[in-house]
A and B are shown apart, each in its own frame.
Chain A
């Protein structure tokens, strides 16, 4: 950084982290970049969730198709995703400690959680499709149900799938000594965000649509 103080304009200004040439947040650029992406992605998911709530409130015959097996399935999915966040933080911790083997192990465990989540969710999807739910048609009520449900949960499933691939690349690269602990931490931010989004989809889409006995 320049050592001379700026003396023009309103007079001498004290050197601050905001005057350029420094990282005012004290985080690596990649981490800041991931945070900015996460905020924008959070806005995308918020828009979809609010649109889902909007069409549901506006509907007089919104289907409530989820019986206990479906709710149980979604609850197990939630527990799996939360646990995969735990294995992810342990992976980041291993990376900070310089334990390369630990990183690969924890990331593989996290990826396994992601794959399990996808499998269970696809099973739910296939069940609904089997019962006749389509994007603009279903046997129970408001035809928009399918579009709202599949777009919201489908975008989330895409995020999980991309996350599994992302973590695979990071694990592979870490094993070869290509990546630093910062890269592992940044991939962790993405993974936790995907987990976080599900914490809103699960109550809004599943729990609020349970079919009570």
Chain B
């Protein structure tokens, strides 16, 4: 470790990290409780995925430091990822056709 001058470069306080960690644990607990409620499967899936996206955002922003980087980095990485993952859903409705065909 040669950079003693790096002190000024430390982003995010210890408090922030513990705070984020606490929220991540709390949301995980909430997800487990939610999983044992008698909800319609689509509602359950939507709620769980929304909570997971919140967790992912917390991890990316604070633990992975993306919130402290130049905005250009996030703008280079994230839209491409969202676009590609979105494209994967194009064939998804076919799963319902497969289910209906099997039912007959």
Asked if A and B are interacting partners, one says yes
Query: Binding site of B, secondary structure by majority: helix, strand, loop or mixed?
Result: helix
CB-defined contacts of B36 to chain A, threshold 8 Å: 210, 212
Shortest distance between the CB of B64 and any CB in chain A (Å):
5
| Any B CB within 8 A of the CB of A126 | no
| Any A CB within 8 A of the CB of B44 | yes
Q: Of all chain A residues, which has the CB nearest B16? A: A89
| Any B CB within 8 A of the CB of A177 | yes
Contacts between chains A and B (CB distance < 8 A), count: 153
| Any B CB within 8 A of the CB of A107 | no
Q: Select A75's contact among B28, B44, B49, beta carbons within 8 Å.
A: B28
- What 1/0 mask marks residues of chain A from 33 to 51 whose CB sits below 8 Å from any chain B CB? 0011001001100110010
Query: Binding site of A, secondary structure by majority: helix, strand, loop or mixed?
Result: helix
**Which bracket fits the contact residues of B?**
35 or more
Shortest distance between the CB of B68 and any CB in chain A (Å):
11
Q: Is the CB of A60 within 8 A of B102?
A: yes
Q: Of all chain B residues, which has the CB nearest A200? A: B52
A6 to B65, CA, bound (A): 36
Q: Is the CB of B63 within 8 A of A85?
A: yes
Shortest distance between the CB of A104 and any CB in chain B (Å):
11
| Any B CB within 8 A of the CB of A125 | no
Q: Of all chain B residues, which has the CB nearest A197? A: B56
Q: Select B92's contact among A42, A50, A75, A88, beta carbons within 8 Å.
A: A50
A24 to B48, CA, bound (A): 37
Interface residues of B (CB under 8 A from A): 1-4, 6-7, 9-10, 12, 14, 17-18, 21, 24-25, 28, 31-32, 34-36, 38, 41, 44-45, 48-49, 51-52, 55-56, 59-60, 62-65, 69-70, 72-73, 76-77, 80-81, 84-85, 88-89, 91-92, 94-96, 98-99, 102-103
